Amino acid sequence: MTRLLKQQVVGAHVRRLRVQRGLSLRALAKLTGFSASFMSQVENGHVSPSIGSMEKIAAALGVTLGQFFEAVSGGRGGSIVRADDRQALSSGWSNAEIEALGLPDPTARLDAILITLRPGGRSGKHPSAHRREEFAFVLQGRVVLTLGPEEHRLRRGDAARILPGELHLWRNDARSPAHVMIVTSAIAGTARGRGAPA
């Protein structure tokens, strides 16, 4: 059984990262595009932000979404993570659960998470873009991926590559949960910087 992280633990970790980077609450709010009041609620564990909101907060703090799990992991460890030992974070707003598939490691080049979108779940209110490249693989169920101006219906076995800066949103219109594995490059960059055509 996965260990569900409490909002307060994640909020305290957000605060620690913010302080380590020398950011005020208002400065972090400005970087994320959220209000200082909302960021205060996150840090105090009073809200359950959407997946998209958590990704924006992570990016503003210079970490990946998976690195939020460092809050309770006790730092780096071995390279095996048993299914029963995975750490999870519930997002009430997104109607989803996020699980870390690896141990936090600041030197890692990849970060992997498993998102379970329950029926009606979605990654955010609007499509958002991230600074890191993502690879997504649908393990179970059906999801709709809004990628740029187009919607794509994906089912088990389908995959998607999402470039840095590309607007996207996940949602589950089906009657059963969907499981999507997302692997993110840990180093932010531009598509052009990785050899994409000019």
For 33, residues 6+ apart whose C-beta sits below 8 A from its C-beta are 56
CATH topology classification for 3-193: Jelly Rolls (2.60.120)
In this structure, of 41-50, 120-129, 131-140, 186-195, the range with the lowest mean pLDDT score is: 186-195
* pLDDT at site 104: 66
Which of the four pLDDT bands, split at 50, 70 and 90, describes residue 197?
Answer: very low
Beta-strand relationship, 110-117 and 142-147: unpaired
* pLDDT at site 26: 93
Res 72 pLDDT > 50: no
pLDDT top residue among 70 and 41: 41
pLDDT top residue among 69 and 98: 98
25-32 vs 51-60: helix crossing angle, rounded to 10? 120
**DSSP string for 8-21:** HHHHHHHHHHHHHT
* pLDDT at site 194: 36
Rounded distance between C-alpha atoms, residue 18 and residue 43, angstroms? 10
